[in-house]
Amino acid sequence: MPYIPVTGAQRDQMLTTLGLSSIEELFREIPGEFRFPPMDMEEGLSEAEVLREISGLASGNVGAGRYRWFLGGGIYNHFIPAAVNVLASRGEFLTAYTPYQPEVSQGTLQGIFEYQSMIAGLFGMEVVNAGHYDGATALAEAVIIALKQKAGQGEQRIFIPAALHPEYKEVLATYLRSYDPVLEEYSGSPKAAIEEAPADVSPACIVAAYPGFFGVLPDLRGAAEAVHNRGGLFIVHADPLMLGLFKSPGEWGADIVTAEGQCLGNDMNYGGPLLGIMGVIGALMRKIPGRIAGEARDSRGRRGYVLTLSAREQHIRRERALSNICSNQGLSMLRSCIYLALMGKEGLRRTAELCWHRSHYAARAIAALPGFTAAQEAGGPGGNFFREFTVTLPGPLSAEDLSVRMIEQKNIVPGLPLSRYFPGRTKELLVCVTENNSREDIDALVSALKELHQ
């Protein structure tokens, strides 16, 4: 919809109708720490003056374009071909809203179909939907599918890895408030977690993070068989870019695969919009939320694209809905579709290989510094991790303080201080290395760590 400016009189009338006296009162339910502070700007400024002021404020941001960037933790700095921005910015895509009318939405529907086809191949799944808000909500929706499969069969237990992203755990807890399942964290392999559970436990599902929050790849051997023998589903939350190099979740026997698609052609944008992805085996195709596009033929045999396998009521009628999702991340999905088409199988594999080799090179170089350790969760610098690894610092300086110094003095963002999520882990950084980090960048990081850690 176009932006329609509201006049002061219209604003006052709206507030009066609502029985409110001010805009501040309208937003009083939102805790103050979560609101943007008012901008200290003079009234009556021209458009040029306002833009100049805002640009000056924006220049204070720390961005990957001006810094050596080793920050990950769920959103990643990957190369995006210029064609992604050009094609995704075409008016036909930017202004399209809903594909419910196939006669006027063939371009959008074909984009969804091509995206789903490529993701299905990457995941090793039979069906992929059109998109969720982000990876966390996609995973939560997958767990809810498993719970509904086990409804009325006694205690519902969900096994999640201890190494799952902390924010994903929070989203899961929020989604599951209405279902009251037993949420149980496990360490080690998912197969062992199921086999070690009491014999009378019948899990709804077990979730595997592939890789986990700390970059470590879990052992998925035998996990699907173990959970299926107990009557549950095997859910894998995967890194889609990594799947260009490693065995697909479908090959591991997964029933549902979820992922965050930001790394596939979407900018970091200070945290969004993101793209949740979900793929399932054929037996679950009518259980998944969101849209699915299919290829069809008209009465003359001409190829066309339509929404299939679900009715519109599943998205717009509360009593018929499979989920609270009523829209999809269409533009983010389109960007991922274009990215995958441009990169192709070999391009995706090469990108994943660069992430693997450069992150392992960085881990070895950091571990060689006196007092430093790297990738301990993965068994050391040569361990089984992808793109991210933890670094433990020597000396009295915390990871947070070191990070501030490196940003201010070296123009390097060295990683994510783990104290953000784990208050007791003040000496650890989660370092992320992608194909965008050259050897020169990595060597500069290592040199700065050596110089400033004391």
User: How confident is the model over 62-83, as a mean pLDDT?
Assistant: 94
Evaluate whether residue 98 is within a structural domain: yes
Residues 258 and 197 in one domain: yes
Evaluate whether residue 290 is within a structural domain: yes
Evaluate whether residue 15 is within a structural domain: no
b/e 82-120 (16+ beta carbons within 10 angstroms → b): eebeebbeeeebeebeebeebeebeebbbbbbbbbebbb
Residues 309 and 403 in one domain: no
Q: Where a domain ends, among 307, 338, 369? A: 338
Evaluate whether residue 45 is within a structural domain: no
Q: Which of 263-267, 270-274, 278-282 has the lowest average pLDDT?
A: 270-274
pLDDT of 31 higher than 50:
yes
Place of tokens 């698609």: 261
pLDDT of 6 higher than 80:
no
Q: What is the CATH number of the domain that holds 278?
A: 3.40.640.10
Place of tokens 């400024």: 45
pLDDT band at 222 (very low <50, low <70, confident <90, very high): very high
pLDDT band at 312 (very low <50, low <70, confident <90, very high): low
b/e 28-40 (16+ beta carbons within 10 angstroms → b): eeeeeeeeeeeee
Q: Where a domain ends, among 291, 319, 338? A: 338
Residues 323 and 376 in one domain: no
pLDDT band at 3 (very low <50, low <70, confident <90, very high): very low
Residues 299 and 440 in one domain: no
Domain of 305 in residue numbering reads as 83-338
Evaluate whether residue 334 is within a structural domain: yes
**Token digits of residue 414:** 């060295």
Residues 405 and 323 in one domain: no
pLDDT band at 324 (very low <50, low <70, confident <90, very high): low
Overall number of domains in the chain: 2
The angle that helices 439-452 and 399-410 make with each other, rounded to 10 degrees, is 120
User: How confident is the model over 259-282, as a mean pLDDT?
Assistant: 94
What is the Cα–Cα distance from 191 to 10, expressed in whole angstroms? 61
Residues 110 and 214 in one domain: yes
pLDDT band at 454 (very low <50, low <70, confident <90, very high): low
Residues 153 and 295 in one domain: yes
Residues 243 and 205 in one domain: yes
Residues 290 and 306 in one domain: yes
Residue 295 near residue 135 (C-beta atoms within 8 A): no
pLDDT of 321 higher than 70:
no
Q: Where a domain ends, among 283, 316, 338? A: 338
Which amino acid makes up residue 3? Answer: Y
Q: Which of 89-98, 139-148, 205-214, 366-375 has the lowest average pLDDT?
A: 89-98
Condensed to tens digits (0 to 9), the pLDDT of residues 404-418 reads 999 999 999 999 999
Residues 326 and 351 in one domain: no
450 vs 44, more confident: 450
What is the Cα–Cα distance from 338 to 266, expressed in whole angstroms? 10
Q: What is the CATH number of the domain that holds 379?
A: 3.90.1150.10
Q: What is the mean pLDDT of the chain?
A: 90
Condensed to tens digits (0 to 9), the pLDDT of residues 232-261 reads 999 999 999 999 999 999 999 999 999 999
pLDDT of 320 higher than 80:
no
Evaluate whether residue 50 is within a structural domain: no
What is the Cα–Cα distance from 440 to 361, expressed in whole angstroms? 12
Evaluate whether residue 17 is within a structural domain: no
What is the Cα–Cα distance from 404 to 417, expressed in whole angstroms? 10
Q: Which of 41-55, 332-346, 400-414 has the lowest average pLDDT?
A: 41-55
Q: Which residues pair with 389 in a beta bridge?
A: 431
Residues 112 and 190 in one domain: yes
Condensed to tens digits (0 to 9), the pLDDT of residues 151-187 reads 767 678 999 999 999 999 999 999 998 888 889 999 9
User: How confident is the model over 39-58, as a mean pLDDT?
Assistant: 85
